Structure 1
Amino acid sequence: MKTHSARTTLVVGGARSGKSAFAQTLCEDSPFNLIYVATSPVFSGDKEMAARIQKHKDDRGPRWQAIEEEIAIDRVVKEHDNAETVLLIDCATLWLNNLIYHDLPLQDHVGGFLDAMAETHAHIVIVSNEVGQGIVPSSPQVRQFRDHQGRLNQQLAKACERVVEVRCGLPLLLKPNDQPKLVL
């Protein structure tokens, strides 16, 4: 079986596609120190989200160190600049939501994260949602979020050495692409 290693990997997929499980297994199959960077805020009273967060915690073993960071993931990357470390950032979609919710300058934070990712020696695996393949949202705010998410995914895909889409629990390698260049 052909293998491909990469220092930076973007894992994209739809809701419940298996992207987080795939990303976690990819990290656990490595010999590196494992750090899970949780970007989800915990909302009081949201029992369903609390259960999701608890399930993620339960699914990780004792090799994992967890860091909860809703905004400054660039700082986390810089603090853990070590070639023997893998950072699993789950997920970019919730991080983007946090930036928008707190009315923070998106390009400053995205640019800071991309810079930190380019400069670090750590291995980075980023989980992100593919939100542009569904129906067109009826709300201007939701359409704007979808557009921001699509642009963020494009920037992450360009910056990462490897991009994997997960559908129905199956990983599909998008980058690097060994397919011939298409021409007319």
Structure 2
Amino acid sequence: MRGTESSDKKLILATGGARSGKSRFAEEYAGELGTTRGQRIVYIATSQLYDDEMRRRAAIHRDRRPAEWRTVEEPYELEAVIRRLSEEPVSVVLIDCMTLWISNLLLMPDESGQERWMKPEHSEWILERAKELARLLKQAPFPAVLVTNEVGDSLVPEYPLGRVYRDLAGQVNQALAEQADEVFLVVCGIPVNLREAAWRSGGKGQ
């Protein structure tokens, strides 16, 4: 589907809108990488299953994946998981998804139980964690495929939390894309390689 050169890529980012097909594309890409590196594929799920709807969504994703894939559920400490997996025999890591991870971190309460998202320094802390995660993945002995969402292609949210989340997701996506070897925008199930379509010849600025 993408050629043997993909086996040399370290970090692949797949983005798109809701129900764009980005998760399915990322799973196919990770599976293809696994055929050349061994099938020790680890799927890291960042969702938290608060209700029946989320459990049904997770089940759909789980049933679609090959049974031999290993699943790790981690809503917060992705960096720790990557450090641990870097010491294990892993072929490919797939993280789905980054925007749920951002949401989890954004809504973390502080020691007093108060919400942190209203403090600008909390968003800055999350952005720095995303940059550290990208650094760890670039250094890891396995390639990684990350799924994220484009949340800014719609109306401006009416409430402050929505605007903070939208802005932070966009900043994190840019930081990840800057480090990614390949960036795909998935539209109607069709992946478009943004590196190949970039306006700046050979540049990584987004």
Higher helix share: 2
Offset, 1:2: 6.8
Which residue of structure 2 lines up, in the alignment, with residue 88 of structure 1?
94
> What's the CA shift string for 1:20-42, capped at 9, x where partnerless?
00000111122232100000011
1:124 and 2:140 are equivalent in the alignment: no
Match for residue 156 of structure 1 among 176, 189, 192: 176
Q: 1:25 maps to what in 2?
A: 28
Query: Aligned-pair distance for 1:134?
Result: 0.7
Q: Distance in 2 between matches of 1:174 and 1:120?
A: 24
Describe how 1:92-171 pairs up with structure 2 within 5 A: 92-102=98-108, 103=116, 105-171=125-191
C-alpha contact (below 8 Å) 2:10/2:138 kept by paired residues = no
Alignment partners' CA distance in 1, 2:18 and 2:93: 22
> Quick check: 2:93–2:143 contact (8 Å CA) kept in 1?
yes
**Secondary structure, counterpart of 2:25 in structure 1:** helix
Following superposition, the deviation at residue 136 of structure 1 comes to 1.0
Give structure 1 stretches of 5+ with no counterpart.
none
Is structure 2 residue 48 aligned with structure 1 residue 41?
A: yes
- The alignment's TM-score, normalised by the length of structure 2, stands at 0.80
Q: Which amino acid aligns with 1:106?
A: I
Deviating above 3 A after TM superposition, structure 1's stretches of 4 or more consecutive aligned residues are 1-4, 176-181
Distance 1:141 1:176, change over 3 A: same
Equivalent in the alignment of 2:112: none
Residue identity matched to 2:53: E
- The offset of 1:111, in angstroms, is 3.2
Q: Is the 8 A contact 1:83 1:122 kept in 2?
A: no
Number of aligned pairs? 180
**Is residue 61 from structure 1 mapped to residue 66 from structure 2 by the alignment?**
yes
Describe the shift of the 1:153–1:178 C-alpha distance in structure 2 as closer, same or farther (beyond 3 A): closer
1:73 aligns with 2:78: yes
Distance in 1 (CA, whole Å) between partners of 2:128 and 2:170 is 17
Structure (1/2) with the larger strand percentage: 1
CA separation of 1:49 and 1:84: change in aligned 2, threshold 3 A:
closer
TM-score (norm 1): 0.89
Look up the equivalent residue of 1:96 and give its one-letter code.
Answer: I
Give % identity: 34
- Cα deviation, 1:150-178, whole Å, max 9, x if unaligned, reads 00000000011100010000000002547
